[in-house]
Structure 1
Amino acid sequence: MTDDRPRRGNASLTVRHRPFELNLTRPLGTAHGDIRSRDGFVVAVERERDEATAVGVGEATPLPGWTESRETCAAALNRLSDSDGDGAAGDSLDALAHERVDALDAEATPAARHGVSLALADAAARGSGDRLADRLAAEADLDATPADAVPVNATVGDGDPTETAGEARRAVEEGFDCLKLKVGVRSVDADVERVRAVREAVGNGVALRVDANGAWDRTTARRALDALAAFDLAYVEQPLPADDLEGLAALREDDPSSRVPIAVDESVAAHGVDAVLEADAADVAVLKPMALGGPDRALAAALRARSAGVEPVVTTTIDAVVARTAAVHVAAAIPDVSPCGLATGSLLDEDLAPDPCPVADGRMPVPSGPGLAGDAFDELRRS
């Protein structure tokens, strides 16, 4: 990635990007079909004021169904890279940064905005010597100091009861105290037996979540929730299709002390967190920074949800290491965040760089900075 344009103003900001493709270790089934690879863009921005320069790195990894297509993302980044990077005399770097981000539609091109806004935030935090989490918290006017580590859940595959219980037991032995099980592909009765086997295998001290990926209709969801209530689940994620906010709200009408809490994921991508909150459709909002348009927007959505009594959980869209690290910073900025779905690096057969946030005992450390992770991504900033 090169840029040889002359500098004409006191401040300048240039945006560059290059494509990448990373294969998964095995296909991952979702409500939108199997994911076999992650194709995206490394984004780099260079902020220059007089002779002071700061370079930041971001990631735009679209996932159709949650974000724009790869082609639409590329077109948005191309337009931004082709624009003039220089400001007039007296322009501030912050003004130029806001101009670049505002040029991207967070609703139409959330992955592109994520990549650019993350790179800008990384550059700014590196320039000031702050961790990204601390900068995000300050911009959101949060009083609490971001955490130094974030609790995460392990995801358990869709095996038979014996296989599922064995995988769950291994995750607990590795230090996880929160597990998420995929359900909805099998019959309700079969899934109930899988959840029963896991609960018996790991005991009552481990939090269990299940994710149906919108597989059930209202009648099936009601039957499933009634049957699963015996296992003290933390929540059932997306028991109904994304568009059925009314049905999700109806599932929540029972006494909260006797029902399984409802989490939404695809519904947030389809309608936005504000629509979910207005419909009273969730106890938990699963938030993906890539799908929401950037770390800043993800943190803002988390705080709106928390203020409405809905618990935020930060997850990835099976991103590469740059975006995963950013999601860890977002989660760290949320006070007393619940275990998040960030331990997804092992799903990739390869990555853009070594992971600065390795999972240990069910937690991911927040890099000490500055920026995303100090100099961990310097090679990506230069490429």
Structure 2
Amino acid sequence: MVNTVQLQFSYLKRTLIFRFDAGTSRGVLKTRDVYWIQATDPKNREIKGWGEAAPLVKLSPDYRDDFEEVLNRILQKLNGETWESEQDSVLAKLKDLIPSELPAIRFGVETAVLDWKNGGKKRILTNDFFDSQKPIPINGLIWMGDREFMLEQIDQKLNEGFNCIKMKIGAIDFEQEIALLGYIRSQFSSEQITLRVDANGAFSRAEALKKLERLAEFDIQSIEQPIPAGNWNEMRRLCEVTPVAIALDEELIGVPDKEQLLDQIKPQHIILKPTLVGGILETQDWIHLAQSRNIGWWMTSALESNIGLNAISQLASTFNPAIPQGLGTGKLYHNNLQSPLEIQSGFIRYNTDTAWEDPS
């Protein structure tokens, strides 16, 4: 006989405050609303599972004016459900119960239920990051801004010991961005520092190849989303001739047929943000499909608080990643939840000497 339990769900909203104006191709972010989902057994309220639903402004399919109303409605519906203790059963059930148009909510509930299932200790999955405190390599992120701000960030990341730098481009003059990349390469070879750039779809289709050829002069490891998402034919042509490996990012959001996208575009890499692509189960599916096609991948957070970042780090760890992941966003906020997550010398670690702050 399978043991089942009925859980109750609730949520808390927190507005996170950035330490600086975070420039993106979609505008400057100063604050970020996140929703912490709690799962408890009414018969044993000592154990609390926590997850995070954090739709990203102008990008997440479930970023909408009535998000909080929709979240509350979904959680009320889930209060009447029974849950088996087996992980695959939980994930399959949530895929059926929460539509794909609500990926942030699905990811948050997945995390909350799995955390509860594992004793409410912020352990989401079996993984070496949490279980053995095995660090995960990450890239150092350089945010968009004026030249001086970006140069300051570059120097800071290099001094902190990162050997993989990711620079967001498209906010300032392209020649100034080229000069910043040249500054890094004047000090460090590609064997010493891996360079990634993220265009967030900022290049026009007419200019994309010429800009990629310029970027190739600096031994760029990859460029994320050079042209806007949705231009599959043009993206495929770029992937065929590009001198810099292309990584799809926004292109993956809301895609009903993963195999069709991968087979039609044939990218060199894909970037996976669980909050945007549908959570744990969907992310695992993307990875298996990519690996079967010899397409590279890495995982990144989407500006979640430490609750979401912890879950994504554990998910990444289950695949034993050897290349840097995009998991360095924990220090972005003045009022992030205190946690065992630490970044040192280009790695994110789970330090068991530090306790979690109670979200409630």
Q: TM-score range by the shorter chain?
A: 0.7 to 0.9
Contact kept in structure 2, 1:313 and 1:337, CA below 8 Å = no
Q: Which amino acid aligns with 1:269?
A: I
Q: How many residues align?
A: 352
Instruction: Return closer, same or farther for 1:162/1:81 CA change in 2, 3 Å cut-off.
Output: closer
Per-residue deviation, residues 81-140 of structure 1 (Å, max 9, x unmatched): 32373568xx745568864553211x211111111111011112237x894341699xxx
Within a 5 Å distance, the mapping from 1:101-116 to structure 2 comes to: 102-105=96-99, 107-116=100-109
Equivalent residue letter for 1:252: C
Instruction: Check whether the contact 1:76–1:104 (CA below 8 A) recurs between aligned residues.
Output: no
- Cα separation, 2, equivalents of 1:84 and 1:186: 46
Distance 2:126 2:270 in 1: 23
Q: Determine if the alignment matches structure 1 residue 14 to structure 2 residue 8.
A: yes
Give the corresponding residue for 2:320.
Answer: 335
- Is the Cα contact below 8 Å between 2:9 and 2:78 reproduced in 1? no
Q: Distance in 2 between matches of 1:251 and 1:97?
A: 36
Of 227, 248, 251, which residue of structure 2 is paired with 1:267?
A: 251
Report the 3-state secondary structure (helix = DSSP H, G, I; strand = E; otherwise coil) of the residue aligned with 2:228: coil
The alignment partner of 1:336 has SS state of coil
Q: Does 1:39 align with 2:24?
A: no
Return the TM-score normalized by structure 1.
0.81
Q: Which one of the candidate residues 304, 308, 320 is aligned to 2:293?
A: 308
Give the match's secondary structure for 2:157: helix
Q: State the Cα distance separating 1:308 from its structure 2 match.
A: 1.8
CA contact (8 A) 1:356 1:376 kept: yes
Pair 1:358-2:342 in alignment: yes
Would you say the 8 A contact 2:339–2:354 is kept in 1?
A: no
Equivalent pair of 2:236/2:267 in contact (CA under 8 Å) = yes
Structure 1: how far apart are the matches of 2:98 and 2:354?
A: 27
Q: Which residue of 1 aligns with 2:201?
A: 214
Q: Does 1:56 align with 2:41?
A: no
- Once the 2 structures are TM-superposed, how far is the Cα of residue 229 of structure 1 from its aligned partner? 1.2
Question: Which residue is 1:279 aligned to?
Answer: 264
Change over 3 Å in CA distance of 1:301–1:54 after alignment to 2: farther
Aligned to 1:237: 224
Q: Does 1:203 align with 2:202?
A: no
- Per-residue deviation, 1:28: 2.0
* Larger Rg, first or second structure (1 or 2): 1
Provide the residue aligned with 2:176 in structure 1. Answer: 190
Go from structure 1 to structure 2 and tell me whether the alpha carbon gap of 1:23 and 1:159 turns closer, same or farther (over 3 Å shift): closer
Letter in 2 for 1:104: I
* CA distance, structure 2, for counterparts of residue 195 and residue 178 of structure 1: 13
Structure 1 residues 1-46: Cα deviation after superposition (integer angstroms, max 9, x where no partner): xxxxxxxx97321111121111212232223332221112110111
| Bigger mean CA offset, 355-364 vs 185-194 | 185-194
Residue in 2 aligned with 1:141?
Answer: none
Match of 1:6 in 2: none
Relative distance call for 1:73 and 1:135 in structure 2 (3 A) is farther
Contact 1:76 1:112 (8 Å CA) reproduced: no
User: What TM-score do you get using the length of structure 2 for normalisation?
Assistant: 0.86
What value does the CA root-mean-square deviation take over the aligned residues? 3.2
Deviations 1:326-354 (A, max 9, x none): 11111111233421111112221211x21
- Structure 1 residue 302: Cα displacement: 2.3
- List gaps (5 residues or longer) in structure 1: 1-8, 138-144
Given that 2:128 and 2:134 are in contact with CA atoms closer than 8 Å, whether structure 1 keeps it comes out as no
**Hey, what does 1:293 align to over in structure 2?**
278
Contact 2:90 2:110 (C-alpha < 8 Å) held by counterparts? no
Q: Percent identity?
A: 24
Q: Please give the secondary structure, in 2, of the residue aligned with 1:345.
A: coil
Distance in structure 1 (CA, Å) of the matches to 2:302 and 2:118: 24
Counterpart-to-counterpart distance in 1, 2:26 and 2:17? 18
Aligned-partner Cα distance in 1 for 2:349–2:39:
26
Who is 1:152 aligned against? 138
* CA drift at 1:56: 0.7
Tell me the CA shift for residue 209 of structure 1. 0.5
* 2: CA distance, partners of 1:201 / 1:165: 13
Q: Deviations over 1:43-76 (max 9, x none)?
A: 011146x779742100111113123125443233
Q: Counterpart of 2:7 in structure 1: which amino acid? A: L
Cα 1:177–1:246, aligned 2, differ >3 Å: closer, same or farther? same
Task: Write out aligned runs for 1:92-107 (5 A).
Answer: 92-93=84-85, 99=93, 102-105=96-99, 107=100
Q: Which residue of 1 aligns with 2:155?
A: 169
1:251 corresponds, among 234, 238, 242, to 238
Q: Deviations over 1:176-227 (max 9, x none)?
A: 0000112223344333222112211333310001111111112311001111
